[in-house]
Amino acid sequence: MNFLTPINAMLIKSIISIVLITLILTGCKSQPAKTSMPLKGKIEHPISKMETQLTRITELRKKVAESGNSKSKNITPANFEKTKGIILRLLERAEQTLTDKLPKARFDWERHGFTSPEKMIDQAEGYLNILKEDKDPLQGKFAEPGGTVIDHCLIKKDGLFHLFYIRGKAATHWPEWPARNFGHATSKDLLNWETHEPVIQSPEKGWDEYQVWAPHIVKHNGEYYMLYTGVSYPCCQCIGLAKSKDLFNWERIGDGPVITPGEWGIWKTNGWADCRDPSMLKVGDTYYCYYTAVRKVEGADPSHEYCVGISSSKNLIDWKDEGFARLETSLKTPPESPFAVEKDGKFYLFYTSYEHGTVVAVSDHPAKGWKDLPEDKLVTMAGISASEVLKDGDDWYISLISHAQNELHFFEIRKLIWHDDGKITAEVID
């Protein structure tokens, strides 16, 4: 039986149509908006920070290469190449850090003392920009291109100054690039240097197989004698001897070291042992050697103190232990690069204090009685290291190693001024 009339049928159809239309409209609103299809081809990704820095390194290397040779009247060719070499080493270190290709570290501290790769690149670019302005960003600072100068010595022969030095690699610590020979350079004015072939190469095996440090040279009986620190692979340090007739060709004397600490010292052959940085002073017919050492202190905590070891000799081959100098300024840190001179009947010992820089002790005797100068006269130069004193006629000079970010070390020279009040200062040479 059909219960729908025509009117009812039409009404029902209208209701159904309204419901369907509502459902369709609601469904359309709930659909997500369509996105445009990507264009065919390579999809671009953001450039990483590392890629940006590596690109900067490549661009800066290209600019260094394009800089060519120095045609400047303000910068010598040697100084131009020195600065280019330092720039390239900073860029190399930054790249090695970014790509995780640094030399294998032997000690934990080898990764300390460096800025971020970005700041290394900024430093290199800053030097390059100054170079482009026809200026030397490292004015008065000597190093081989891409190298560093650390402990060193000066001696004059036939009007020419000879500089011998630890040959480091810029932007590295010494274990990363072992210093296995000494650099050699000459100068007429202590400011402009010509480099020569290195001397005293470490042997493949022996007590100085790992590195050679801190040379010091005196003239004796018509020949030149060099005391230097030999370092074994375990980092045992002791002092050896070599000699030369012309300062260019050297031969070692003997098969082992000539100086090691006395019974007072803490020293061993199978591990780290302090006995380094020798220098010599002749008093009468006796030579005194001063070197960095560490001694036992019974019943104390810690049971050691750093000190300056002292030995004496009349022939530079046979050395007698003279004990040590206890210096209050450097009991907890090594008094490095000790260097003694005699003036007006007194003896002055210049040395590197980790806290202050180059400081001075004084004594009436070359082997005993050493005391640091009073606090107001203690520091000759702050923030530098490895000073040596040179007397040339009536003029006194003092050398130094200056430091810049990212393990850059340079040789510099100053005039040494002895004041009437006992203060000793240094002035830049014009």
45 confidence band (pLDDT: 50, 70, 90): low
Q: Is residue 309's pLDDT more than 70?
A: yes
Q: Is residue 5's pLDDT more than 70?
A: no
Rounded to two decimals, the pTM is 0.88
46 confidence band (pLDDT: 50, 70, 90): low
Sign of the CA dihedral with 377 first, then 306, 261, and 217 last: negative
Chain-centroid distance, C-alpha 204: 25
- The pLDDT score that the predictor gives to residue 74 is 87
Name which of 175, 183, 189 is nearest 148 in CA terms.
183
Q: Is residue 11's pLDDT more than 90?
A: no
- pLDDT tens-digit series, residues 156-167: 999 999 999 999
* Average pLDDT of the chain, as a whole number: 91
Please, which residues have CB within 8 angstroms of residue 291's CB and are 6 or more apart in sequence?
Answer: 229, 239, 259, 275, 276, 277, 278, 279, 308, 309, 310, 311, 338
What is the mean predicted confidence (pLDDT) over 189-207? 96
Distances in Å between the Cα of 12 and the Cα atoms of 9, 20, 23 are: 5, 12, 17
211-220 and 223-231 strand pairing: antiparallel
- The DSSP symbol for 249 reads S
Q: Is residue 14's pLDDT more than 80?
A: no
Q: Is residue 42's pLDDT more than 90?
A: no
Q: Any idea what the Cα angle at residue 352 is, between residues 348 and 354, rounded to 5°? A: 140
Q: Is residue 195's pLDDT more than 50?
A: yes
- The pLDDT score that the predictor gives to residue 430 is 78
Q: To the nearest whole percent, how much of the chain has pLDDT over 70?
A: 89
Kindly state the helix (H) or strand (E) to which residue 11 belongs, with its residue range.
helix 6-30
Written as six digits, the tokens of 209 are 């197989």
72 confidence band (pLDDT: 50, 70, 90): confident
Written as six digits, the tokens of 152 are 């060193």
- The pLDDT score that the predictor gives to residue 68 is 73
25 confidence band (pLDDT: 50, 70, 90): very low
What is the mean predicted confidence (pLDDT) over 65-83? 86
69 confidence band (pLDDT: 50, 70, 90): low
- pLDDT tens-digit series, residues 95-129: 999 999 998 899 999 999 999 999 999 999 999 99
Token look-up 């004698």 returns: 225
Q: Is residue 387's pLDDT more than 60?
A: yes
- The pLDDT score that the predictor gives to residue 217 is 98
- The pLDDT score that the predictor gives to residue 67 is 87
Sheet architecture: strand order including 223-231: 211-220, 223-231, 237-244, 251-252
Q: Is residue 29's pLDDT more than 70?
A: no
Q: Is residue 32's pLDDT more than 50?
A: no
- The pLDDT score that the predictor gives to residue 160 is 98
- pLDDT tens-digit series, residues 233-283: 999 999 999 999 999 999 999 999 999 999 999 999 999 999 999 999 999
Query: Pick the residue with more confidence: 3 or 291?
Result: 291
- The pLDDT score that the predictor gives to residue 7 is 34
- The pLDDT score that the predictor gives to residue 36 is 42
Where does 301-366 show beta strands of DSSP type E?
304-313, 320-325, 336-343, 346-353, 357-363
Query: Pick the residue with more confidence: 73 or 120?
Result: 120
- The pLDDT score that the predictor gives to residue 24 is 39
Q: To the nearest whole percent, how much of the chain has pLDDT over 90?
A: 86
Helix, strand, or coil (residue 380): strand
215 confidence band (pLDDT: 50, 70, 90): very high
- The pLDDT score that the predictor gives to residue 53 is 97
The span from the CA of 50 to the CA of 203, in Å, is: 41
